[in-house]
Amino acid sequence: MQALRFPRFHRLPVQLMLLLGLLFAALPALAQEDNLLPVTEAYQLSADASTPGVLKLHWTIAPDYYLYRGRMKFSAGPGITLGTAQLPDGEKHHDEYLGDVETYHHGVDATLPYTVAAGTTRLKLDVQYQGCHEVDPKICYPPHTEHLDLPLPTKADASLPAGQSLGAALTGLGSRGASAPAGMAAAPLPENEAFRFEAAAPDPSHLLLRWTMPKGYYLYRDRTTLELAGAEGLRLRPPEWPDGVTHADPQFGNVVVYFDQVDVPVAVDGDLAGRKRLTVQATFQGCQDGGLCYPPMTRTVTVDLGGGATAATSAPVDTTPSSPIRTGLFAALALALAGGLVLNLMPCVLPVLSIKAVSVLESGESRTAARRHALFYTAGVLCSFAVLGMGILALRAAGHSLGWGSQLQQPLLVGVLACVMLAVGLSLSGVVQFGASLGNTGAGLASRSGPAGDFFTGVLAVVVASPCTAPFMGGALAYAFTAPMLSALGVFLALGVGLALPFLAIGFVPALGRLLPRPGRWMETLKQVLAFPMYLTAAWLVWVLANQRGADAVGLVLVAMVLLAMTLWWFERSRSRGIAGRAWVLPLALATLAPLYLLAHVPPVAAGAVVEEGVVAYSPEKLAELRAAGTPVFVDMTADWCVTCKANEHTVLDTASFRALLQRTGAVYMKGDWTDVNPVISAFLQQYNSPGVPLYVVFPNDGGPGRQLSTVLTSSMVEQALTEAAK
């Protein structure tokens, strides 16, 4: 019998066979990618369907893994209609492949409302999600879908018969004890806590109604009626309800309900002339989810048509940031004092104060002389604030729109200030030494060491200080612009006291005076160094003028500054040349005034429709058009002479993150330029009780009232406001 012959591969060496065996045994381990978890272990999904109409989902996320918020999708099975999933905000970052995303770590909860068709007995749906492993090996799982098949809950006693009181229903609940459904709370809140109702007036012909409910409560849309009380000739148009959640109610069938909070715009028809308030009466009904329904309840609120405030008889007053600023007299005085102190640190004030610092160092005089310096400087500050305050209040009383810092809207004043700053700088540099003659200019008055010099230094400090609106000044000035005359003047004087306080302290507290360095040769060097902030201030004012009146205005003010420098140079040289030599000073001074006279007649620069790329110029019509289209809008009222505005632009608004935020939220950046006189922008400032710029208002996409932000912006503040406006 012939022997069987095996194939050649059966004769492989034993060592090679063992190696191949080990390789095949290692394949499952290699397939695990360094012990990466299976997708269902990395993201463990659990579902809770005990509450009728709401499916609660929870993912437990393993360490070093994360889920994408934007990659979650939900698909309904037969007989099921899904609402909009409620997901919390995630952690924001930039993904290499997906761009700007939000992610979740550790765990996340989602709420998914739904309705069921008649005859449906099971809650079937697909849940798709995707996540990644964020440490080595950094991999992302493909989208994963889980199929849920859950029993539908029963909802016993979910509604309250119309004739039954809430107290009787609560008594019945207590008697049922443990037989109550598992998803029903044992103690419903009082109706005033369960349903908060408020109202505001964005403008006299439009109201915004707001219902706020705690978690687990909802409001019926079609069980709500609205009417005006005591307003003959006026009526409310049908409310503009936003999209709600479709809910299968045992008593009312398929209805639309709202959870958490809902804002409802309502227009008013009729003649509102002379009417300052409206009284709105709302009757509505809502339920505790999985529990009892409340009987119809009626609330009455009184809405101030001028300020948008709510005076409620059955609900708290709205105190959101969009409400008008309300500051008492004592609080306004304290804020004004603090604001005046802060002004000492502003870059537009510090150069002027350097003059007084040098004069105090050089004087080496007695305590009485130091007090005299402080008192005359304070007198100049207080008189200037009083004059400025009375002028602004008088013009406002006459119907003119004039705000804080608006004196720099006048090109002639800007040009004169630029020349004054140049003259002060030349004096500190030693080009000219002003004496006691009556022909001194404003710079000479500010540089003198006597009472007149102290007084006019205070005047100059106020003139250049007002555009630098400090953070503490907003509330105080808003109060002053709406308060009675005496109270308003008190606020302006408190600002002056705050600005003058450092010199008052030095003059009247000897211990502080002793902290100043002793006079020496170094003071001449310090004086010359302090001239350069003056030159920079003059350059800044010329830049402001360029934005107001263009290149022609810049050319005129530069000619005036050169002629002023020539006048001062010849004035210094003519000291030893007698009367004949000094005769040329007056013609040169008059020649300096000629370009300034022409400057006052240069027309404004024509404004375009677009301020810069990605920015829309403010107009009431464009704002109304955007709001009607449901677009969130960020309104920025600014001016080139506003230092706070420029700081906010540099740190927040002119950044890539802000532009990305606008793109993500679909918001429009609208800018109003108040560098020059603009009655339209003045009216907007007045609408929000703002004494000046900056003013930032965020308008939501639901047509609700604008939210006024702080005068000093942060990136987180702007991101929160725009994110809420885009919801």
**Cα distance between residue 123 and residue 114, in whole Å:** 9
DSSP state of 92: E
Q: Which two tokens stand for residue 68?
A: 């994408």
In degrees, rounded to 5, the angle at the alpha carbon of residue 606 between the alpha carbons of residues 603 and 610 is: 160
Question: Could you read off the pLDDT of 453-476 as tens digits, one per residue?
Answer: 778 777 877 766 655 544 445 555
DSSP of 557-574? HHHHHHHHHHHHHHHHHG
What pLDDT sits at residue 392?
A: 63
* Beta carbons of 480 and 473 less than 8 angstroms apart: no
Other Cβ atoms less than 10 A from the Cβ of 311: the count is: 14
Residue 662 is predicted with a pLDDT of: 93
Query: Are 395 and 387 contacting, i.e. CB atoms less than 8 angstroms apart?
Result: no
How far apart (Å, rounded) are the C-alpha atoms in residues 435 and 441? 11
E strands, 308-420, where? 310-312
Q: Is residue 384 a contact partner of residue 496, using CB atoms and an 8 Å limit?
A: yes
What's the mean pLDDT in 129-153?
Answer: 85
Predicted local distance difference test score (pLDDT) of residue 705: 83
Tell me the CA distances in angstroms from 34 to 40, 132, 139, 402, one per residue in order.
17, 14, 11, 70
Least confident of 55-59, 182-186, 321-325, 713-717: 321-325
Phi/psi for 420 (5° steps) reads: -60, -45
> Is 259:209 a contact under the CB 8 Å cutoff?
no
**pLDDT of 29 strictly over 60:** no
Mean pLDDT to the nearest integer, 68-92? 87
**CA distances (Å), origin 437, targets 355, 421, 575:** 19, 20, 12
Strand partners, 47: 57
pLDDT higher for 608 or 338?
A: 338
Which sequence spans correspond to the domains of the chain? 39-151, 187-312, 329-599, 615-725
The CA-based angle 664-670-675, given to 5 degrees, is 145
More confident position, 555 or 584: 555
188/337: higher pLDDT: 337
DSSP run (H or E) holding 17: helix 14-31
Q: What is the structure's pLDDT at 347?
A: 56
The answer to whether the beta carbons of residues 443 and 584 sit under 8 Å apart is no
Check residue 586 and give its pLDDT.
85
pLDDT value, residue 434? 56
pLDDT score, position 351:
57
Contact 427, 500 (CB under 8 A): no
pLDDT digits (tens, 9 = 90+) for 479-517: 555 556 777 778 888 888 888 888 788 777 766 656 655
187-312 falls under which CATH superfamily? Answer: Thiol:disulfide interchange protein DsbD, N-terminal domain (2.60.40.1250)
Give residue 341's pLDDT band: very low, low, confident or very high (50, 70, 90).
Answer: confident
Report the CATH architecture of 615-725: 3-Layer(aba) Sandwich (3.40)
CA atoms within 13 A on the CB side of 257: 28
Q: What is the pLDDT of residue 52?
A: 78
Average pLDDT, the chain: 74
Between CA 460 and CA 452 the distance in angstroms is: 12
Question: Considering the domain 39-151, what is its CATH architecture?
Answer: Sandwich (2.60)
Cα 596 to Cα 413: distance, rounded to the nearest angstrom? 9
Give Cα separations from 74 to 113, 120, 640, 650 (angstroms).
11, 18, 51, 42
Mean pLDDT calculated for residue range 386-413: 64
The mean pLDDT of 222-246, rounded to a whole number, is 86
Which band of pLDDT confidence, cut at 50, 70 and 90, is reported for residue 62?
very high
Quick check: helix, strand or coil at residue 249? strand
Burial 93-117 (b: 16+ CB within 10 A, else e): eeeeeeeebbbbbeebebbbbbbbe
Using CA atoms, how far apart are residues 152 and 452, in angstroms rounded to an integer?
Answer: 88
Rounded-to-integer distance, Cα 206 and Cα 135, Å: 54
Closest CA to 497 of 508, 505, 486, 509: 505
Most confident of 143-157, 307-321, 539-553, 572-586: 539-553
Predicted pLDDT at 6: 37
- Angstrom distance (rounded) from CA 361 to CA 326: 43
Q: What angle do CA 657, 663, 664 make, to 5 degrees?
A: 85
Largest CA distance in the chain: 148
Smallest Cα–Cα separation from 227: which of 279, 302, 264, 295?
Answer: 279
Q: Are 389 and 480 in contact (CB under 8 A)?
A: yes
Give 499-553 as a 3 state SS string: HHHHHHHHHHCHHHHHCCCCCCCHHHHHHHHCHHHHHHHHHHHHHHHHHHHHHHH
Residue 633 has pLDDT above 90, yes or no: yes
Higher-confidence residue of 335 and 143: namely 143
Average pLDDT over residues 407-424: 81
Rg (alpha carbons) of the chain, rounded to whole number: 36
Q: What digits encode the pLDDT tens for the residues 566-623? A: 888 888 888 766 676 677 888 888 888 888 888 888 877 654 444 567 889 888 888 8
% of the chain beyond a pLDDT of 70: 71
Q: Is the pLDDT of residue 643 over 70?
A: yes
Which pLDDT score, from 0 to 100, does residue 677 have? 74
Judged by DSSP in three states, 556 sits in helix
Beta-carbon contacts of 547 under 8 Å, excluding residues fewer than 6 positions away, are 605, 640, 675
Q: Band of the pLDDT at 558, cuts 50, 70, 90? A: very high
pLDDT at 251: 61
So what's the pLDDT on residue 358?
58
Percent of the chain with pLDDT over 90: 11
Residues 214-236, mean pLDDT to the nearest whole number: 86
Residue 81 banded pLDDT, cuts 50, 70, 90: confident
Q: Give the 3-state secondary structure of 684-709.
A: HHHHCCCCCCCEEEEECCCCCCCEEC
Contact 639, 693 (CB under 8 A): yes
Q: Is the pLDDT of residue 325 over 50?
A: no
Residue 362 — very low, low, confident or very high, per pLDDT cuts 50/70/90? low
Question: Is the whole-model pTM more than 0.75?
Answer: no
For the chain, counts of helices (H) and of strands (E): 22, 29
Identical fold between 39-151 and 615-725? no
Answer yes or no: are the C-beta atoms of 137 and 112 closer than 8 Å.
no
Residue 247's pLDDT band (cuts 50, 70, 90): confident
The yes-or-no verdict on residue 31 having pLDDT over 60 is: no
Nearest-angstrom CA–CA distance, 447 and 435 = 10
- pLDDT band of residue 639 (cuts 50, 70, 90) is confident
Residue with tokens 């996320």: 61
Which residues does residue 438 pair with via DSSP β-bridges, in sequence order? Answer: none
The pLDDT tens digits for 199-209 are 887 777 888 88
Residue 100's pLDDT is 83
Report H helices in 106-187. Answer: 166-176
pLDDT at 21: 44
Q: What is the pLDDT of residue 78?
A: 85
Q: What is the pLDDT of residue 481?
A: 57
- Beta strand ranges found along 321-459 (DSSP E): none
- Calculate the alpha carbon distances from 683 to 78, 201, 204, 321, 675 in Å: 57, 17, 15, 20, 15
d(CA 568, CA 459): 22
CA angle 703, 705, 711 (to 5 degrees): 130
